[in-house]
Structure 1
């Protein structure tokens, strides 16, 4: 029965993880395109930042909408909406038009990213057995980094089709347009998967919820989970004000601050601007794009390692190791730029090591923690608030990075991210609890004891 159950839970997790692949694909596509867009439209540093980060405003909107919509319509239907948003964005940018239309369609794509960033890990958390929930939610992050690596290859391939003039004129549009293919695959894969059993239970569709839980957990465990879910749902749909009550207030604080630290430690500077960073070390365009593929490859490999150990070592230990390692690596990258030794391999080595530490910690585990710390009756909206702040942080970092480079230089910019990594370590050490091995209902009970 265990293998039979695992077949279904991994099948459903895989489909949700394709939402993560779209997330990574659509956010990182700008890394290969931004230099060509900047050249085509002669953008200032501030406008370059806005062009690279405009999708993130849509992400914030999608994050806030996702929780409310999914509580009403269900997780599956709203994930389907995100797939259509990705597709519309890809088609819209592929059609030649001005920069204002590009920004509009990136906003539409951002809504899809924001929705997927909440609902894919939420769906997995609500269907996964407690013993392997961390591993399964981390598979969503594996989807993200797979999408990032895939688009790095696609970007490099498209850029190599013709000369620089073609890339500046229209090559970058094909980079964005290529997202139509994974969007349609995601929509197709969503059709046969079931709705979240915990959402079905909230709608009093207990028979359906019971059948799905029995499929993924086995009959005996399903019976236990149904009892726990019934008890947890004695609390009615809660207003936003409930998030400010003792216990829930602590959970919300942890969710928001961890989400913010996962971004202000500089990860999206690497993901969005990696080719431009490597060009600053003296690499040419094609060489910089291939070095960016290395970044995506290391990210993928180390995320697989995180998936293996998250339910063995626990969330907190990996988060501490990762944030400490990130701080050291960012110090090295800043020093390489400061001493003007960036032309060697120090910047590439420092960034690859930084990515390694991020990929075993804040990368996958932010979504693991945020997806599991909130109670059933308010999870959708609480995650919406936490992930809104995640996307707000991505926007601030992406918008300000070109301006920081121009005003204070590369070395001090990377040292700022080093300081935030140290702050993340201190926060995790003192505030973030360990949730390894606990059911969602046991975690909910933990917050009741916090007064």
Structure 2
């Protein structure tokens, strides 16, 4: 079958959808370079500062709730267009906003875009992919997220450097955005990839599986012919999907309550929310603060954080290459085991490192090792699993439920990490993260089937036959 697959076309479709992941990563990470400037300009107190950081997460939760319904009703492609419009509106609005309230509103709009794209991009890639390449193609989305993180760090650094070299700014709009109030430029630069995403979406087709679900078999067949080249194979795939849909005559919500599918939804919710309490977002969001707690200067902390972002990106590339060869579950076994070890080592360093005079370079090594283990396992696997676990008819809705759990976890960890660092100490915080890895690995071991190399229809039959 490999010789009849148009892999170049598949990669193109996946890269276009994955661009939404880049916007996700950029919009999430860019905030880190603007907090101090926005706080000073608008005279924010601690609560207002927390609201500025967290308001986009609230938007993400809203976006996740609507993403599945929109994609199931109007299609995967139109929903991606909506997310591109939201990102563009947010970026332009943040750059030109008149006051803090407007800034928050536009950040919430961008957060809604994040929530929508976090569901729809991996879902679309999963539905257009073929079984033997699906893992690495969906992983392109996670790779794009990490590149977005790195891109935001680099843009923030370059724009700040540019602003600092222009000590006599003018009064026009350009100097306001890129010199006097450079945070506007940091947030506004997202306009470029957002507009590109909006334009390029129109060059990809609708998901063939969604078209089959809506009874548009001819359109679906024509798209599948471009993917499989063989008309016979395209027809087989249409019939394969339709054979599963014959068992899905019930409404979406009643279908979710069927024993096997309900089990899949609950498992998806568990791995989505548990993954947030294993430390990854705490490291990505609060890395500089954590490094400063270890006695490093602000400059060294920022440099260490850039290294964390670089390792995260490069490791995701490796995960993309091996995920369909090693398998989803094995990556989780190896990676999460490594996370437990490195989290314990980080906790031990915070307990004894300073008193024993141990160099901070060991803390950096432990952190980078943790990021490697995390990026090659749960970060690479979670969106792949969530995008392929559910039946076609309820895939968008079920992913929204799991995505809602994921974003609730992200919001909670964002709010709780400063409290935990202060009250549990850094050592206690990282020991807690290590403990939370245990139920995750047990759930994947006992309850999640190995989906590597299986078609979406085969995976669907596993859950619908499971009681």
| Partner residue, 1:215 | 226
Change (3 A) 1:255 1:277: same
Q: State the 1:199 CA deviation.
A: 0.8
| Partner residue, 2:327 | 314
| Partner residue, 2:420 | 404
Distance 1:360 1:391 in 2: 21
Contact 1:238 1:377 in 2 (8 A): no
Contact 1:318 1:361 in 2 (8 A): yes
Contact 1:156 1:290 in 2 (8 A): no
Moved more, 234-243 or 372-381: 234-243
Moved more, 427-436 or 244-253: 427-436
Q: Deviations over 1:379-400 (max 9, x none)?
A: 1101110101101100000011
RMSD: 2.3
Q: State the 1:449 CA deviation.
A: 2.1
Change (3 A) 1:373 1:4: closer
Distance 1:25 1:214 in 2: 35
- Structure 1 residue ranges without an equivalent (≥5): none
Moved more, 88-97 or 124-133: 88-97
Change (3 A) 1:79 1:197: same
The yes-or-no answer on 1:295 pairing with 2:296 is no
Distance 1:37 1:274 in 2: 20
Change (3 A) 1:362 1:301: same
Distance 1:316 1:176 in 2: 38
Distance 1:100 1:328 in 2: 44
Distance 1:399 1:129 in 2: 39
Change (3 A) 1:24 1:58: same
1:78-89 residue pairs with structure 2 within 5 A? 78-89=79-90
The yes-or-no answer on 1:13 pairing with 2:33 is no
Q: State the 1:3 CA deviation.
A: 6.9
Q: 1:421 aligns with which of 392, 414, 437?
A: 437
Q: 1:202 aligns with which of 184, 189, 213?
A: 213
- Structure 2 residue ranges without an equivalent (≥5): 168-175
Change (3 A) 1:101 1:24: same
Contact 2:162 2:179 in 1 (8 A): no
Moved more, 198-207 or 90-99: 90-99
Q: State the 1:44 CA deviation.
A: 5.7
Distance 1:113 1:141 in 2: 13
Distance 2:123 2:205 in 1: 14
SS in 2 for 1:160: helix
Contact 1:31 1:274 in 2 (8 A): no
The yes-or-no answer on 1:332 pairing with 2:345 is yes
Moved more, 341-350 or 146-155: 341-350
Runs of 4+ with deviation above 6 angstroms: 164-169
TM-score of the superposition, structure 2-length normalised?
A: 0.91
1:125-136 residue pairs with structure 2 within 5 A? 125-136=126-137
Contact 2:261 2:390 in 1 (8 A): yes
Contact 2:26 2:151 in 1 (8 A): yes
The yes-or-no answer on 1:367 pairing with 2:378 is no
Contact 1:135 1:310 in 2 (8 A): yes
Distance 1:375 1:60 in 2: 23
| Partner residue, 1:51 | 52
Distance 2:13 2:56 in 1: 28
Distance 2:252 2:210 in 1: 17
SS in 2 for 1:7: helix
Distance 1:396 1:186 in 2: 30
The yes-or-no answer on 1:172 pairing with 2:183 is yes
Higher Cα radius of gyration: 2
SS in 2 for 1:365: helix
| Partner residue, 2:367 | 351
Q: State the 1:339 CA deviation.
A: 2.4
Q: 2:461 aligns with which of 437, 445, 449?
A: 445
Q: State the 1:410 CA deviation.
A: 1.8
Q: Deviations over 1:82-113 (max 9, x none)?
A: 01111111122222544333322111111100
Contact 2:5 2:228 in 1 (8 A): no
| Partner residue, 1:252 | 265
Contact 2:72 2:393 in 1 (8 A): no
Distance 1:430 1:38 in 2: 47
TM-score of the superposition, structure 1-length normalised?
A: 0.94
SS in 2 for 1:321: helix
Contact 1:80 1:190 in 2 (8 A): yes
Change (3 A) 1:38 1:329: farther
